[in-house]
Amino acid sequence: MVRIGAFLVGLFFAGWLLISFLFGAVAYVSDPPQPTVEHEFHKAPKHVSFSFDGPFGRYDRQQLQRGFQVFKEVCSACHSLKFVAFRDLEALGYNEAEVKAIAKQWAIKTPDVDPKTGEMSTRDPVPADHFPKPFANNVAAAAANNNAIPPDLSLMTKARHHGSAYVYSLITGYQPQPAELLREFPDAKTPEGLHYNPYFANLNLAMAPPLTAEGQVSYGDGTKPTVDQMAKDVAAFLTWTAEPKLENRRRAGLATIVFLLIATGLAYMAYQNIWADKKKAA
């Protein structure tokens, strides 16, 4: 009896799902969704190659240092890296003295408490500190950025599909609104204070173009600082902030695959050796 009841309940729900699907299909065919400006003009990230692409890719330390320089001189005015400490920069090739100098010279001081009075104060960052936030709080951040709070960039390339290419495309993707867009969607004109970018989800964002001219950052290694190069370098740096152990993870994965292949081969040879006499007897 219980089985019959369970069968009937399951049959009821299956039938209800089928009816819902049929009604939804009919509604979709008779009244299809109207195209939206985001659907029509949003673009997938550009194709761009990085040294860390593929299973055997590795970070280019010089590129990461250039990317950090772009972040420091351009992006850090609005964006934070709350999950990255100054001492983590040693992985980019900076020595201990250089990391101390970078922390001490950072434009934003670190909040602290005076141990004698208990009052809030500030001090120069030290290597153990994480990168300070550029604004005291979200209210101050929104007030300085057209009511938009700049996101933390520590994990940005993991939070976006094709993260490295997305960051590169967004930085280099600012352009005037296409005339075709305004013809098809007259009400979709970019609002005052926002900027059109087809690589952003809703096409308009509050962030102004961060890289606008060649030579905006002066590289010490002789690399020509074009907008394209700077965008690619900072995208690589933000990939490292999101995945600092990428190379170790790939090395461990490769070693695991080699081990499994060898173990499989040994297991197969052991199987052949153990069962060889039994097969002949059979």
Q: Which residues are annotated as a binding site for heme c?
A: 75, 78-79, 207
Closest CA to 230 of 106, 121, 122, 68: 68
What CA–CA distance (Å, rounded) separates 246 from 59?
9
Closest CA to 130 of 61, 92, 80, 67: 80
What is the full DSSP assignment across 177-241? Answer: PPHHHHHH-GGGPPPTT-EE-TTSTTSEESSPPS--STTSS--TT-----HHHHHHHHHHHHHHH
Q: What are phi and psi of 85, to 5 degrees?
A: -100, 155
Annotated binding residues, as ranges?
75, 78-79, 207
Q: Are 170 and 44 in contact (CB under 8 A)?
A: no
